[in-house]
Amino acid sequence: MRFITVLGATGSIGSSTLSLVAQHPDRFSIFALSAHQQIEKMAHLCQQFHPRIVCVQNQSQVKILKDLLGSACPAVVYGENGLIEIASDPSTDTVVAAIVGAAGLAPTLAAARAGKTVLLANKEALVVAGPLFIDAVKNHNCTLLPIDSEHNALLQCLPKNFNDANAVEVDSLLLTASGGPFWRRDHATLDQVSVAEAIHHPKWTMGQKISIDSATMVNKGLEVIEARWLFNMPSTKIKVVIHPQSIIHSIVNYCDGSSLAQMGAPDMKIPISHVLDYPNRIFSGVAPLDFSQLSELTFAAPDHQRFPALSLCYRSLDSGQIACTHLNAANEVAVAAFLNEQIKFTQITQTIETVLHQSIRETGLCESLEEIIEQDKIARKNAHHFIQSSLDQLRR
Ligand code: NAD
Ligand code: MG
């Protein structure tokens, strides 16, 4: 029996994870769950999964949850300390990191430092703190397995020592990208896209932030950085190809000319089920592909002019960890501003570019979580400043 903590239980990845847990009550038991805003949904999850402890955002939510559940309410903690507590508790062995954004870093790092099996959806944790995170994994005997579909595909195609792909016979890692909703859209009209258009991903149903990241292709850039740390590969050996059907989830090219790919329906229950009882495979409820119905699999090089964010991510990776921390923070601020209809779609990438330009000399490495949080704050301030001055200019 695995005792599981799900950080971000009310989100898209959290829900897919819990539906798999519900299918396998003989293998998995929920130790802890976290939610940020959806307290009623959390109350339902408590009734269904009977966690021993849950984490919510603040004290007033603790009261709401206790009122909703009465004597059936589990122990409730709150805030970042609460998240760290449920991620590192000795009674849990597996932590699903499914909080969105840099907010997931502290608890995910705590899980790594406590030597847990960490099933990572929260790619931002690796983008923001790659070297520190990987050191924690190595020094504390943590098993880090990717949920992100591309990285999970690579895990499935790599040999057992996957976390040092550069040392095995790998020529390159090829991340596939659907291209998002706009890969064929007229470049000149991108500044007019609405939130509804940007959020509507052609192939995947996901949370709001990652849907926007997919539309700008920041998501693929974050995934290049994620792959660099998960598989210890230099950026020159991590490539991206557009594959609009989202059937091949990524490819490992070997030095002898062989390419191994993982295929499946675009459903996150596949990669989650692959790591949930790793290395055993479990029933996911997703049917295998019907190849007789697959009319075509197509591929194209990414258009860096249309999606400059991808190049910005490669540039940040080559500049160093602080640039990646700034890139992520600027993107989080800009995506929130776009979702609030404060800035245009194209200004998301402009915000990132401006913030990175300001941090161009920041080539160093943070030694601690505190230093990373400090850098994250600087970049958020710069991003807010750029957005505010753009708004002021519009008003003039
Ligand atoms: P989501 O928005 O659906 O869910 C996010 C979860 O995080 C929710 O449970 C929310 O309560 C919690 N959360 C949000 N802000 C928080 C904060 N400040 N503090 C604590 N908790 C907070 O997002 P999602 O689509 O499930 O994505 C989660 C992570 O998984 C992201 O990093 C995303 O990039 C990654 N991911 C998602 C998918 C997908 O298909 N959805 C695929 C690959 C990777
Ligand atoms: Mg992905």
Tell whether the model's pLDDT for residue 395 goes beyond 90.
no
Express each pLDDT in 289-344 by its tens digit: 999 999 899 999 998 888 899 999 999 999 999 999 999 999 999 999 999 999 99
**Average pLDDT for residues 84-90, to the nearest whole number?**
98
- Ligand at minimal distance from the CA of 221 is 2
- Ligand at minimal distance from the CA of 217 is 2
Within its chain, how far is the Cα of 150 from the centroid? 11
Q: Residue 360 has what pLDDT?
A: 62
Q: Residue 203 has what pLDDT?
A: 84
Can you read off the two tokens belonging to residue 85? Answer: 């507590």
87, 113 in Cβ contact below 8 A?
Answer: no
Closest atom, ligand 1, to C-alpha of 268: 40
Q: Residue 221 has what pLDDT?
A: 98
Q: In the structure, what pLDDT confidence band is assigned to residue 363 with cuts at 50, 70 and 90?
A: low
Output the CA 109–ligand 1 centroid distance in Å. Answer: 16
Q: pTM, whole model, 2 decimals?
A: 0.97
Place of tokens 């890692």: 173
* Residue of 6, 34, 56, 100 best suited for mutating to test ligand 1, as the one with most atoms within 8 Å of CB: 100
Please classify residue 291 by burial: count the beta carbons closer than 10 Å to its beta carbon, then call 0-12 exposed, 13-18 middle and 19+ buried. exposed
Output the CA 168–ligand 1 centroid distance in Å. Answer: 33
Ligand 1: residues with CB < 6 A are 8-14, 35-37, 98-100, 103, 121-124, 148, 204, 206-208, 210, 268
Atom 16 (ligand 1): residue with closest C-alpha? 36
- Ligand at minimal distance from the CA of 339 is 1
Atom 41 (ligand 1): residue with closest C-alpha? 206
Q: Residue 47 has what pLDDT?
A: 98
Long-range pairs for 387-395: beta carbons < 8 A, 24 or more residues apart: 387/333, 387/334, 387/337, 387/342, 387/343, 387/347, 387/351, 390/343, 390/347, 391/342, 391/343
**Average pLDDT for residues 84-108, to the nearest whole number?**
98
Atom 34 (ligand 1): residue with closest C-alpha? 210
Closest atom, ligand 1, to C-alpha of 123: 32
* Residue of 57, 124, 206 best suited for mutating to test ligand 1, as the one with most atoms within 8 Å of CB: 206
Q: Residue 361 has what pLDDT?
A: 66
Tell whether the model's pLDDT for residue 49 goes beyond 80.
yes
* DSSP codes joined into one string, 118-167: EEE--HHHHHHHHHHHHHHHHHTT-EEEE-SHHHHHHHHHS-S-GGGGGG
Tell whether the model's pLDDT for residue 232 goes beyond 80.
yes
Q: What is the mean pLDDT of the chain?
A: 95
Output the CA 296–ligand 1 centroid distance in Å. Answer: 32
Bridge partners of residue 104, in order along the sequence: none
Atom 36 (ligand 1): residue with closest C-alpha? 121
Can you read off the two tokens belonging to residue 339? Answer: 């979702």
For 221, the 3-state DSSP assignment is helix
Closest atom, ligand 1, to C-alpha of 222: 34
Closest atom, ligand 1, to C-alpha of 101: 32
Q: In the structure, what pLDDT confidence band is assigned to residue 137 with cuts at 50, 70 and 90?
A: very high
Output the CA 146–ligand 2 centroid distance in Å. Answer: 10
33, 6 in Cβ contact below 8 A?
Answer: yes
Q: In the structure, what pLDDT confidence band is assigned to residue 390 with cuts at 50, 70 and 90?
A: confident
- Ligand at minimal distance from the CA of 206 is 1
Q: Residue 362 has what pLDDT?
A: 65
Atom 17 (ligand 1): residue with closest C-alpha? 103
Express each pLDDT in 371-385 by its tens digit: 999 999 999 999 999
Output the CA 295–ligand 1 centroid distance in Å. Answer: 33
Amino acid at 250: S
- Ligand at minimal distance from the CA of 33 is 1
- Residues of the chain with pLDDT > 90, as a percent, come to 88
Q: What are phi and psi of 351, to 5 degrees?
A: -60, -45
* Residue of 5, 6, 10, 12 best suited for mutating to test ligand 1, as the one with most atoms within 8 Å of CB: 12
Tell whether the model's pLDDT for residue 107 goes beyond 90.
yes
Tell whether the model's pLDDT for residue 244 goes beyond 80.
yes
Tell whether the model's pLDDT for residue 358 goes beyond 90.
no
Q: In the structure, what pLDDT confidence band is assigned to residue 71 with cuts at 50, 70 and 90?
A: very high
Q: What are phi and psi of 58, to 5 degrees?
A: -150, 180
